[in-house]
Amino acid sequence: MLHAAGDNGCCSAWCKQFDCGCVFFLCLYHAEEFGFKASHPFNSCLFLFLLTAQNCSYTLHSPNGTIESPGYPYGYPNYANCTWVIVAAEHNRIQLVFQGFALEEDFDILSVYDGPPSPGNLRTRLTGFQLPSPIVSTGARLTLWLLSDYAVSGQGFKAVYEALPSYTCGNPGQLINGHQQGSTFNIGDKIRYSCSSGYVLEGHTTLSCLATSAGTAAWDFPLPYCRADDGCGGTLRGQSGVIKTPNYPAEYNNNADCTWTVLAEPGDTIALVFSDFQLEDDYDLLEVSGTEGSSQWFTGPNLPSPIISSKNWLRLHFTSDGNHKLRGFSAQYQGRRHSHSTKFIFRLFQQLCITFI
């Protein structure tokens, strides 16, 4: 016997006791007859949630255009599952610039893929209320995938995209609590950055747009950022060192947001080897960029494999949510000539084995 939510049956009694929203479920009496064994105080009730996914999918071939989440700016639906695939002409790349961004933090996620939506192409995962920096693809395809959960939604997002010719690097982006000098982004152009009072610039103050061996253009260094004087992270310029989460080996803080940029000499690469790694699975994340292809993402208890940069810089971005804290991670880095990187990793493994023995 089905009983509608909000009547005088067990659903109403359950909601009166636990102050929940009965409109989201129906109640089935005598669930035992259907092979279910109830585990809640109302032994004769089985709650069935009514979930309706809001699916949408778009493929965009125009050289420029606008993308908005469903319902923007009045809020996207719960259970949204939407993809946008931007396809440019051959040899072009795609620049995506956000004009508005507000998603329920940690629960509603916009994933951006540098190509088709596969784990190896994940460029970044965006959530919260901070306006993201511009994104430039490495090829002629960029994919956006929005997923929202069952409750609470923000305004959503709005972004404009355009196809970039091979001779431009695209806009590297503005700094939060910082300033930008320079407004052209073609090969040979330079952009200079500085920070507002009370903030310290981490990274390179000047970015140069250079031609690449692939026949395109790219900035020589990642976008710097401005951190508060008492913030975690920093720019590491030594030949070698250790990167640890705050408080390691004690638990890191909730709502942490730390970025470390490792800079080596021109022509060198950087090897990174983890000795310990414990993050809350799926919610606390470490992003490593500066390697070949898209960023690498790590979470959970598994020790990441050794990493070698493809350039003379490596950036680590660690974020944690508002629940649960673990030990964090510790990793050793060292700048080396490209031909010596493999030998360095082997030597580090030997040292780590000796340490743990």
243 contacts: CB under 8 Å, gap ≥ 6: 236, 260, 262, 316, 329, 330, 331, 332, 333
Q: What is the mean pLDDT of residues 327-347?
A: 72
CA distance 145 to 156: 13
CATH fold of the domain at 167-227: Complement Module; domain 1 (2.10.70)
Given this model, what pLDDT does residue 272 score?
95
Band of pLDDT at residue 157, cut at 50, 70 and 90: very high
pLDDT range class, residue 348, cuts 50, 70, 90: low
CATH code for the part of the protein at 232-357: 2.60.120.290
- The two three-digit tokens of residue 86, written as one number: 């931007």
pLDDT at 243: 94
The pLDDT of 264-270, averaged and rounded, is: 87
List, in order, residues 6 or more apart from 94 with CB less than 8 Å away. 86, 88, 136, 137, 140, 141, 142, 161, 162, 163, 164
pLDDT at 129 over 90: no
Residues 204-249 pLDDT 10s: 999 999 998 888 899 999 899 888 766 688 888 878 899 999 999 9
Which CATH architecture is the domain 54-164 placed in?
Sandwich (2.60)
Q: Comparing 167-227 with 232-357, is the CATH topology the same?
A: no
CA distance 2 to 28: 5
* Average pLDDT of span 162-171: 92
pTM: 0.58
3 state DSSP class of 252: coil
Mean pLDDT of the chain: 81
Q: How far apart are CA 35 and CA 39, in angstroms?
A: 13
Name which of 11-25, 165-179, 217-231, 258-272 the model is least confident about: 11-25
What is the domain partition of the chain in residue ranges?
2-49, 54-164, 167-227, 232-357
Reported as a single tens digit per residue, the pLDDT across 91-116 is: 899 999 999 999 988 889 999 999 99
Q: Is the pLDDT of residue 333 over 80?
A: yes
